[in-house]
Structure 1
Amino acid sequence: MTETDAPEPTPEQAALFARVRRMMLIAGLTTALAVAAVLVAIGYRLYRAGGSAPATHSTVTLPKGARIVSTAVAGARLVLTLDVGGAVEIRTFDAKTLKPTGRLTFATEP
């Protein structure tokens, strides 16, 4: 088998090859930067998560005759909906520390 010799590229072709190489270099560097950013974000989240929060034991007192209608978690908050003698009340607590963060009561207009 004989090998064919590739002819020397013309100046226009050489300029085109140089442009393509430059664009590929830019695309490769951009991809490497994006992959590095994703790895940094994953590492940051793993580092921040660290370990699990220590178990807490807490007793929250409710008004006499109150009953819990529903519970929900909203972000870093624990939300309790209470029925207190026929009136609806919403109490929020910090999910990690279980400290009260808010209280919302509802009343009807006279």
Structure 2
Amino acid sequence: MRGFSVVYQLAYVSSSRTRLYEALLNDILTVSEKNNTRDGISGILMYHDQLFFQVLEGERTCVKNCYDRILLDPRHSAIGVPPLKWSTNWDSIIPFQEDQRWQESETTPKRSC
């Protein structure tokens, strides 16, 4: 039988102060992977048209510390935690199967002509 744990989850949206190009996005992803591996954080980061959406998952203190660093990052503006229909915000503790954690990765939308 698989083991279950509890994970803290926080999601936020923000605006980028400037348009970010592939090289800078790759740098952000590289640093995030290093820091998140060190802190035991997983999640997803999406960027499109100067907007970020990110979900962070891990131990509560580590996730909060990461979010505090994001709040101080000068590349972001208008940072907020989106409200959910069934809750006051996306800032919660959820159960998960221990082998179901996922890594951050990068993908880009396919462009059609």
* Structure 1 length-normalised TM: 0.22
Higher relative contact order, chain-length normalized (CA < 8 Å, sep 6+): 2
Higher helix proportion? 1
Larger Rg: 1
* Structure 2 length-normalised TM: 0.21
